Amino acid sequence: MRIKKIFLFLTLATIYFLKSSHENFSFIKHKVCVIGTGYVGLVLGAGLADFGHKVICVDIDEKKINGLKKGIIPIYEKNLDDVVLRNIHNQSLQFSTHLSQAVQLCDIIFIAVGTPTGKNGEADISAVIAVAKSIAKSMNNHKIICIKSTVPIGTGKMIHKLIELETQPKITFDMASNPEFLREGVAIHDFFNPNRIVIGAESEKALSIMQEIYAPLLKKNVPFVKTDIITAETIKYASNAFLAVKISYINEIAQLCEQTDANIIDVALGMGLDERIGSKFLKPGPGFGGSCFPKDTLELLKKGESTGVQLKIVQAAIEVNQQQGLRVVKKLERLVDSLQGKNIAILGLAFKANTDDVRESPALKVIELLLEKGAIIKAYDPIAMENMKKNISNIYYAQTMEDALINADAAIILTEWDEFKNIDLTLIKRSLKKPIIIDTRNIINPTTANKLGITLENIGNAKFK
Ligand code: UGA
């Protein structure tokens, strides 16, 4: 009898606990449409589907959508295939080319199309505008329209007016801004474990629905920054530009270390342990690349110009970065005298490791300069060669690292792939005509290399312990 009572008590207590925790965390599933299936849209769509929402990802690229329907992922992004396949399977994630239909079926629309650099350095938002017009024409009931793409400060306001103007008959909607902070290569990890979620909204209703969208993260106590749209847009640019400044700053200090004989690795360590500075983004290298930092710093500079604010620090970060490729080539030139007719092995084409993305990759600049100086290039990258072929066709693409190295006059490491970190230095010694390496990612121990008779130059006179 006593045992029965205890059992009953425990059961009731469990039910009460589950009920009250459920009440604290009211999870409302939404029908979400994500327009644009690039790095941002695809990760967002798959992630939100994983949260339990019903998601339709839309793109005008029929080939891409047909592939995605079969689970073929168009980009190289760790673990993205698992999340996409899982959610296709449980029918939370669909793909479509029919924007209008998807918009009508959903209550929240994310715009996640590309905003590349335009002719004068400003971000080109023509795709965002085109999508906004299509949304306006498809409106059938109230929607939350959220801009996820990185758009120039003020775009949300402009898009609101545009949709208002183009929607006939008038249907109410709320705009929101929800900038993304995912890093390529670790985007899935970042999606589920963000440092913060920034939501810019123009109404309480939009704000509360956006919170419902990210409820599982709210539950995990991820900080939410709730603000207005223009401030959310500014947070995105200010964050990316700040990180770009940090990289250019350490690249400048690295130059100084090369002249003074200080060791950049210890300098970065000593600086980074100060919590006010922080250890991240203090790695010197061939310069920042990718689809974000170069584009966003330029756009921010333009925004400053058009509003009468000279953003000198951002400008300096861009200038230092633009010189970084030339500095790498000059390092090599000093070691080989002339580059004319020299065979140079390029190890790494992606703008950073763990991605196949070559947009604004330092490799583009370095290869262009080497070709101008008459060098012959043998390039190798574990993943990014197909993408680089679309940009540069007049170089030799090696099937293996060994193939790139054999009989080359020197090698330049441009991407910090594990394959290069674990490189067998005796292979380099055997393969190169003269064992010369420019290690722009500071991944090779110079002492070990020198012991083997390899001439190695890195960035900032890096010495390993
Ligand atoms: C960057 C931001 O880190 C993300 O938060 C943001 O969401 C994204 O842009 C975006 O706006 O969409 P990503 O471009 O994927 O992400 O790459 P990062 O890992 O930030 O690296 C950018 C560049 O800086 C790379 O070329 C990398 O090699 C370089 N870098 C980074 C350094 O040279 N040193 C460092 O210490 C860190």
Residue 80 has pLDDT above 60, yes or no: yes
The pLDDT value recorded for residue 20 is 39
* CA 243–ligand 1 middle distance (angstroms): 8
What's the whole-number mean pLDDT along residues 7-29?
A: 51
Chain segment 404-414, per-residue pLDDT in tens = 999 999 999 99
Residue nearest to atom 24 of ligand 1 (CA): 288
State the pLDDT confidence band at 257, using cuts at 50, 70 and 90. very high
Which atom number of ligand 1 is nearest to the Cα of residue 357? 15
Residue 358 has pLDDT above 70, yes or no: yes
Residue 183 Cβ contacting ligand 1 at under 6 Å: yes
What's the whole-number mean pLDDT along residues 230-236?
A: 98
Q: How many CB atoms lie within 10 A of CB 44?
A: 24
Residue 292 Cβ contacting ligand 1 at under 6 Å: yes
* Cβ-contact 44, 148 below 8 angstroms: yes
The string of DSSP letters for 157-225 reads: HHHHHHHHHH-SS---EEEEE----PPTTSHHHHHHS-S-EEEEESSHHHHHHHHHHTHHHHHTT--EE
The pLDDT value recorded for residue 9 is 54
The answer to whether the Cα torsion of 344, 348, 352, 353 is positive or negative is negative
State the pTM of this model: 0.93
Burial class from Cβ neighbours inside 10 Å (0-12, 13-18, 19+) for residue 423 reads buried
* CA 244–ligand 1 middle distance (angstroms): 8
Token couple for 446: 């110079």
